[in-house]
């Protein structure tokens, strides 16, 4: 069975969306599916068996709509999965009509849209030509029930995948009838999870990072860009370091390519802040690593606890949390207004308010002081990962909405 995955982000592009699309395609291919990937020029893939990558799309503009339609016709898929967030497609509205374009050619095949975020569909910088083209396409393909940010994706997709309940609610606010065909499937880990191997993986990771066996390692995992709350973690680490001489901090991950200028500038600012706070000598920045290798997993194995100080609070859509949870890590995260109910403070995570360095430091200190608390969180987060975040569960649910028997 042939599944077409449409994703503007794919390796070697560095972005969470790229890494998760890559891992998803690998797992689909492991189910003996013929996986075809339509992506942007330059995203040549990683040579995975069973996955054929077609990096032919230049700008995802109206001028490329005929190329898109021709490719779909030649590919002749049995099901289509669109990975969607506006920034992946230069915020151009063309791809928001992809479901209608595909359905005009193959009305009976399942078309599923997975929303990486429902909050970034259209952008203020969309060009006048793009907006005029959208009005013309509306007249030809649109009709009624067309959302401004999502075009006809909500109307003409057979199913819609949201990554958390907050996203599902936001999509329903844009087009209420989408609730009837929306399913929540959180992203699974973006890294290969290497086995503990009786502590050998931990030892290998610490050797690579230059950490001693006696040091207590606090880890942040994920791409570095604004909204991650890294400044709060650095300030909290400064507090922790006052009484914890053996504490070390490691940032596992680098900048993103989807918004490289902003991410790069933020990276430089955080490097500078670590020096100003006097913690640079005890802070390690790994930079980017390949999603298909074991490097990121080894770094996580090297850590004692993980911290995710997101400014908007943790949600099930955070693939960084998925990776941490898959390794059974005790995690401190922030609580937001949309934090999913599956996160239980003191059972599978420790929660505190965003932008509060003192509170974050208190949570880290509590974990450093109590092996019993760390063990309880390890047990709780492992159960959460198995129920919500494992690739077995995620792929099974995805195959179900694609109409594929796994």
- Taking CA atoms, 39 is separated from 27, 53, 57, 163, in Å, by 18, 7, 6, 21
Place of tokens 């932008």: 355
Residues of the chain with CATH 3.40.50.2000: 2-188+391-402, 200-389
Look at the domain 200-389 and name its fold: Rossmann fold (3.40.50)
pLDDT at residue 276 greater than cutoff 60: yes
pTM for this predicted structure? 0.90
Q: What is the mean pLDDT of residues 249-267?
A: 90
Among 90-94, 208-212, 255-259, where is mean pLDDT lowest? 255-259
Residue 194 has pLDDT above 60, yes or no: yes
3-class DSSP state for residue 218? strand
Per-chain mean pLDDT for the chain: 92
pLDDT of residue 127: 66
pLDDT value for 122: 47
pLDDT in tens, 277-287: 999 999 999 99
CB 317 within 8 A of CB 163: yes
* Tens digit of each residue's pLDDT (9 = 90 or more) over 301-350: 999 999 999 999 999 999 999 999 999 999 999 999 999 999 999 999 99
Place of tokens 């640079």: 280
Q: What is the pLDDT of residues 48-59, one digit of tens each?
A: 999 999 999 999
Domain 2-188+391-402: state its class.
alpha beta
Q: Do residues 302 and 206 lie in contact, with contact meaning Cβ atoms separated by under 8 Å?
A: yes
Amino acid 121: pLDDT: 47
* Distance in angstroms (rounded) separating the CA atoms of residues 329 and 349: 9
- Distance CA(91)–CA(60), nearest Å, equals 9
Q: In the prediction, which pLDDT does 116 show?
A: 94
Residue 400: its H or E element: helix 391-402
């Amino acid at each position: 069975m042939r599944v077409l995955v449409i994703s503007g982000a794919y390796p070697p592009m560095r972005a969470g969306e790229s890494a998760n699309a890559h891992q998803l395609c690998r797992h689909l291919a492991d189910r003996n599916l013929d996986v075809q990937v339509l992506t942007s020029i330059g995203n040549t893939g990683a040579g995975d068996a069973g996955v054929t990558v077609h990096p032919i799309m230049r700008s995802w503009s109206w001028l490329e709509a005929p190329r898109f339609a021709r490719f779909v016709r030649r590919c002749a898929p049995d099901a289509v999965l669109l990975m969607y967030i506006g920034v992946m497609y230069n915020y151009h509205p063309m791809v928001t009509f992809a479901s209608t374009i595909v359905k005009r050619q193959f009305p009976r095949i399942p078309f599923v849209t997975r929303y990486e975020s429902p909050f970034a569909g259209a952008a203020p910088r969309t060009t006048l030509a793009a907006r005029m083209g959208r009005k013309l396409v509306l007249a030809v393909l649109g009709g009624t029930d067309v959302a401004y940010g999502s075009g006809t994706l909500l109307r003409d997709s057979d199913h819609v995948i949201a990554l958390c309940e907050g996203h599902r609610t936001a999509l329903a606010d844009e087009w209420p009838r989408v609730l009837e065909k929306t399913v929540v499937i959180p992203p699974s880990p973006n890294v290969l999870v290497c086995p503990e191997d009786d502590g050998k993986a931990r030892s290998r990771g610490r050797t690579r990072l230059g950490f001693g066996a006696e040091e207590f390692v606090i880890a942040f995992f994920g791409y570095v860009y604004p909204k991650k709350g890294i400044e709060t973690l650095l300030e909290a680490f400064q507090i922790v370091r006052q009484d914890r001489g053996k504490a070390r901090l490691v940032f596992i991950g680098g900048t993103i390519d989807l918004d490289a200028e902003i991410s790069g500038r933020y990276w430089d600012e955080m490097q500078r802040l670590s020096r100003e706070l006097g913690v640079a000598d005890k802070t390690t920045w790994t930079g980017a690593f390949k999603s298909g290798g074991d490097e990121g997993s080894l770094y996580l194995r090297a850590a004692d606890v993980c911290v995710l100080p997101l400014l908007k609070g943790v949600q099930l859509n955070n693939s960084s949390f998925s990776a941490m949870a898959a390794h059974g890590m005790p995690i401190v995260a922030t609580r937001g207004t949309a934090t999913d109910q599956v996160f239980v403070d003191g059972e599978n995570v420790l929660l505190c308010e965003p932008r509060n360095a003192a509170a974050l430091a208190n949570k880290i200190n509590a974990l450093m002081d109590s092996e019993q608390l760390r063990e309880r969180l390890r047990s709780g987060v492992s159960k959460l990962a198995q129920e919500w975040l494992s690739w077995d569960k995620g792929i099974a649910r995805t195959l179900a909405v694609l109409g594929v028997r796994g």
